[in-house]
């Protein structure tokens, strides 16, 4: 009898074609359309500018903000380092308190588990509290395909759902819509809504409330995500602004929570750190209006049937990447989106994923892969950044997003075959490693002067440089490089004169 | 002080005036500027575009060229190249190099400075004897601001320039949209960022927009030129090197 020693199996990525972790076009192509939408850019510029200012004012008033960020980063790193044991502890505690834990390897499994649990209740509809995890796996689409109607209860998620749109932001899903657009969506899609509804925020909220109140009171099953889960106690936590989440978490008979496995925290006390970091980083508030914590089931109070679906969907694959795993520390606050100059111009749809912006550009390729198909759109995401670093400064758990983007770019070039770019990079390095050859190439570059106009500028360049010259002039290359000037008579004379200037300054000082 | 000057590939080849200004300025301040002739490129373009094998010889070349113990400090008129030397060479050395390369990289990184850091932190000067009677606005480039944390050092140097009319740039800390090959791979997004930057610059009424990176200035200056704004992009080193007898701005070349 032989013993199977086993080969390490690569951890699974999110399955291709299921869920919302991949767009249908590469980022530059999708961004092209979004950049042409003037209304979108105005909406985004105004919204992100406002949140940016609020965040800076509330983080600035905490004297220990940097220490909190360090603590958040340390707790998350510790969590990732011992994720299996913490998850088993969480499962034990949830089960002890009357909940049921389900393990889902990927989006397909998670969707099937939730659909089965809903069917078992006999209900054909569910109310939902805003959840990134269920967006990620495409749960709504799956439930609809099996005859179950999901109702989003978060105001912004409701707007997106009614418009048959996709969220454009982690925290503010309808950030790309203004009040007039929202009024139109409500008038078109909410049954029995006042046809004279105006665009006052209070009136829009009231229209949504009237519609949702009926759903809260009649629907027997709710689906939620989780911001945190505490391994030590089996406690789940949802933080929100509107109270609709609390309605979902308390009114129905059955509660199904779908949670990415990275959301676990070791101790109850760790919430102290994250309940300060999260609201200040995301909405720029000192505290979010509603924080709901629940542990298993409490007889006679709240849902009597509680299920926790622990979702992998590529997280183990991300965890296995020694450098990239830091992206799992993300607490989905969206601070990086709000400070990102690329996100501010393109909006979230250009990223093609539930997770847009800087963190999405590193998280999405790790969860779903970036080489699943030829010209996988996800392989364009690590390049959707100017590496300006604003995201790193804003991140409450100090994820070094720019370095992760550079690492993913490296992984991408290592996995792709020969491309014109790769050949050019190799050729450039081959020249640059030989100073004599390099100097000769510099001389050749001065030939670029012949294409310059009379004013010494070049206004048109051939592909792939035409993307540059479409909007920017280029100065003609100089006649002489620095190195040849430095060793020339003129260069030496100029530097001698500069040194003499120094000496004459000194003499004047001495004289005074 | 004996200072090793790294011209950077962009500075050496396309924008030598900014490098000349650096050499002249440091010489005028009484320092001995040396130019290791074997120098070429720091490899930042390769690393940021996703290539880490290719720049290994460039990283080694840099460490060898400036590793000489007689060179007390290494300076470059580029925040992004200084950032690459200090933060990225180590990553390349760890992945594809050897212990000797890593040690060489660490030695050089520890004495590498962007121009304003060298002047303020190492040489202890903010008043460098410059004279520049023009309206100027300053753009803090992303890598100087966030990778190197140069803070207000460039502004302190500029404020001490005689005759200068320094005006604040609205939205100064927003990226100009250059980002190396980002400007090619995502040309339209880059352009959208550039337009907001040039709008902010022209709103100041400045004659000159300055910064510590020729690459960002190449981008900003290219945008300013395309809209015929009349505002020039000029490297910080050229303002600091300008004196009553050699007012650099009067020369034609940009950046």
Contact B142 A389 (CB under 8 A): yes
Select the residue of B52, B147, B192 nearest A410 (Cβ to Cβ).
B52
pLDDT of residue A468: 92
The band of B249, judged by pLDDT with boundaries at 50, 70 and 90, is: low
Is A481 in contact with B12 (Cβ distance < 8 A)? yes
Using one digit for the tens of pLDDT, what is the confidence trace for A228-238? 999 999 999 99
- List, as one string, the DSSP characters of A70-139: HHHHHHHHHHHHTHHHHHHHHHHHHHHTT-EEEEESSHHHHHHHHHHHHHHHT-SEEEE---HHHHHHTH
Give Cα A117 to chain centroid, integer Å. Answer: 30
Chain B nearest-CA residue for A34: B189
Percent of chain B scoring above 70 in pLDDT? 98
Task: Looking at A226-326, list the stretches that DSSP marks H as alpha helix, in order from N- to C-terminal side.
Answer: 244-250, 271-282, 315-319
Determine which of A108-122, A442-456, B134-148 has the lowest per-residue pLDDT on average.
Answer: A442-456
Give the model's pLDDT for residue A510: 47
User: Does B254 score more than 70 pLDDT?
Assistant: no
- The C-alpha atoms of residue B102 and residue B86 are separated, in whole angstroms, by 12
pLDDT of residue A508: 52
pLDDT digits (tens, 9 = 90+) for A297-337: 999 999 999 999 999 999 999 999 999 999 999 999 999 99
Mean pLDDT of all residues in A50-79: 97
Return the residue of B nearest to A388 by Cα: B142
pLDDT value at A3 more than 80:
no
Residue A8 pLDDT exceeds 80:
no
In DSSP terms, A301 is beta-bridged to: A298
- For A467-479, how does the pLDDT look when each residue is reduced to its tens digit (9 = 90+)? 999 999 998 899 9
Quote the ipTM score: 0.96
Q: What is the pLDDT of residue A367?
A: 97
Arithmetic mean of pLDDT, A6-10: 75
Per-residue pLDDT, A506: 56
| Under 8 Å between Cβ of A185 and A163 | yes
Q: Convert the pLDDT of each residue in A173-183 to its tens digit.
A: 888 888 999 99
d(CA A137, CA A160): 17
pLDDT value for B89: 98
Predicted local distance difference test score (pLDDT) of residue A10: 80
Q: Between chains, do A433 and B40 touch, taking CB under 8 Å as contact?
A: yes
- Which residues on chain A are in Cβ contact (under 8 Å) with B129? 505
Average pLDDT in the A96-117 region?
A: 98
**Cα separation of A266 and B56, whole Å?**
41
The pair of three-digit structure tokens given for residue A446, joined into one six-digit string: 């001065």
Question: Residue with structure tokens 């089996």?
Answer: A234
User: Is A27 in contact with B13 (Cβ distance < 8 A)?
Assistant: no
CB-based contact, A323 to chain B, within 8 Å: no
Mean pLDDT value across residues B203-212: 97
Using a CB-CB distance cutoff of 8 angstroms, which residues of chain B are in contact with residue A445?
A: 13-14
- Tell me the nearest-neighbour CA distance from B117 into chain A, angstroms: 19
Separation of alpha carbons B217 and B78, rounded Å: 11
Measured in degrees and rounded to the nearest 5, phi and psi for residue A30 equal: -65, -40
Could you read off the pLDDT of A399-431 as tens digits, one per residue? 999 999 999 999 999 999 999 999 999 999 999
Q: What values do phi and psi take at A324, rounded to 5?
A: -75, -20
What's the average model confidence in pLDDT over B71-84? 98
On average, the pLDDT of chain A sits at 93
Share of chain A above pLDDT 70, in %: 98
Lowest mean pLDDT among A38-42, A220-224, B77-81, B247-251: B247-251
Rounded distance, CA A12 to CA A320, Å? 11
Confidence tier at A80 by pLDDT (50, 70, 90): very high
Is A346 an interface residue toward B (CB < 8 Å)?
yes
pLDDT, mean of residues B47-54: 97
Which residue of A lies nearest to B55 if distances are taken between CA atoms?
A429
Cβ contacts below 8 Å, chain A against chain B, sum to 210
> What pLDDT is attached to residue B253?
55
Residue whose tokens read 């409500």: A186
């Amino acid at each position: 009898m032989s013993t199977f020693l086993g080969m390490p199996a690569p951890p699974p990525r999110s399955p291709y074609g299921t869920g919302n972790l991949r767009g249908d076009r590469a980022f530059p192509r999708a961004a092209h359309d979004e950049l042409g939408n003037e209304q979108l850019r105005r909406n985004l510029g105004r919204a992100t500018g406002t949140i940016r200012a609020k965040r800076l004012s509330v983080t600035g008033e905490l004297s220990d903000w940097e220490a909190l960020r360090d603590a958040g980063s340390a707790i998350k790193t510790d969590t990732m380092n011992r994720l299996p044991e913490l998850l088993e502890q969480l499962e034990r505690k949830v089960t002890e308190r009357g909940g049921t834990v389900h393990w889902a390897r990927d989006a397909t499994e998670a969707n099937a588990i939730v659909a089965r649990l809903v069917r078992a209740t006999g209900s054909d509809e569910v109310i939902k509290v805003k959840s990134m995890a269920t967006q990620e796996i495409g749960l709504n689409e799956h439930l609809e395909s099996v005859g179950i109607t999901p109702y989003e209860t978060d105001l912004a998620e409701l707007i997106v759902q009614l418009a048959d749109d996709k969220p454009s932001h982690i925290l503010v899903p309808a950030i790309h819509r203004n009040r007039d657009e929202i009024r139109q969506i409500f008038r078109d899609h909410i049954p029995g809504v006042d046809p004279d509804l105006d665009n006052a925020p209070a009136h829009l909220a009231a229209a949504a409330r009237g519609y949702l109140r009926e759903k809260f009171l009649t629907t027997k099953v709710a689906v939620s995500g989780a911001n945190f889960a505490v391994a030590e106690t089996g406690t789940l936590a949802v933080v929100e602004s509107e109270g609709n989440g609390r309605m979902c978490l308390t009114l129905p008979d059955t509660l199904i929570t779908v949670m990415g496995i990275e959301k676990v925290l070791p101790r109850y006390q760790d919430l102290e750190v994250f309940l300060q970091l999260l609201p200040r980083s995301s909405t720029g508030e000192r505290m979010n209006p509603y924080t709901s914590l629940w542990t298993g089931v409490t007889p006679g109070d709240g849902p009597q049937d509680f299920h926790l679906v622990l979702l992998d969907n590529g997280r183990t694959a991300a965890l296995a990447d020694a450098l990239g795993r830091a992206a799992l520390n993300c607490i989905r606050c969206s601070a990086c989106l709000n400070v990102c100059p690329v996100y501010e111009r393109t909006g979230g749809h250009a990223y093609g994923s539930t997770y847009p912006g800087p963190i999405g550009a590193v998280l999405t390729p790790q969860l779903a892969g970036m080489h699943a198909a030829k010209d996988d759109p996800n392989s364009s995401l690590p390049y959707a950044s100017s590496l300006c670093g604003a995201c790193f400064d804003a991140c409450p758990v100090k994820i070094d997003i720019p370095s992760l983007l550079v690492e993913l770019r490296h992984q991408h070039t290592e996995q792709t075959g020969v491309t014109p770019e790769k050949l050019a990079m190799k050729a450039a390095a081959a020249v640059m490693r030989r100073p004599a050859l390099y100097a000769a190439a510099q001389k050749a570059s001065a030939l670029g002067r012949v294409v310059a106009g009379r004013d010494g500028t070049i206004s048109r360049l051939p592909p792939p440089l035409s993307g540059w010259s479409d909007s920017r002039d280029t100065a003609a290359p100089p006649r002489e490089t620095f190195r040849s000037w430095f060793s020339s008579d003129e260069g030496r004379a100029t530097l001698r004169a500069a040194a003499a200037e120094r000496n004459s300054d000194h003499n004047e000082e001495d004289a005074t | 002080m004996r200072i090793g000057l790294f011209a950077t590939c962009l500075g050496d080849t396309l924008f030598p005036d900014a490098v000349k200004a650096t050499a002249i300025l440091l010489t005028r301040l009484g320092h001995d500027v040396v130019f290791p002739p074997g120098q070429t490129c720091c490899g930042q373009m390769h690393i940021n575009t996703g290539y880490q094998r290719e720049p290994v010889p460039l990283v080694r070349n840099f460490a060898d060229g400036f590793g000489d113990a007689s060179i007390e400090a290494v300076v470059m008129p580029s925040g992004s190249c200084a950032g690459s030397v200090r933060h990225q060479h180590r990553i390349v050395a760890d992945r594809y190099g050897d212990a000797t390369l890593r040690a060489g990289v660490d030695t050089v990184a520890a004495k590498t400075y962007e121009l304003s850091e060298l002047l303020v932190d190492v040489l202890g000067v903010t008043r460098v004897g410059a004279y520049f009677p023009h309206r100027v606005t300053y753009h803090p480039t992303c890598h100087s601001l966030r990778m190197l944390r140069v803070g207000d050092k460039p502004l302190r140097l500029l404020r001490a320039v005689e005759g200068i009319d320094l005006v604040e740039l609205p939205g100064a800390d927003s990226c100009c949209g250059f980002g190396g090959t980002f400007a090619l791979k995502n040309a339209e997004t880059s352009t959208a960022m550039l337009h907001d930057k040039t709008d902010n610059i022209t709103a100041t009424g400045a004659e000159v927009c300055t910064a510590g990176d020729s690459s960002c200035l190449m981008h900003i200056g290219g945008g300013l030129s395309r809209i015929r704004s009349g505002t020039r992009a000029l490297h910080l080193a050229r303002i600091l090197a300008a004196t009553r007898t050699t007012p650099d701005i009067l020369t034609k070349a940009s950046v």
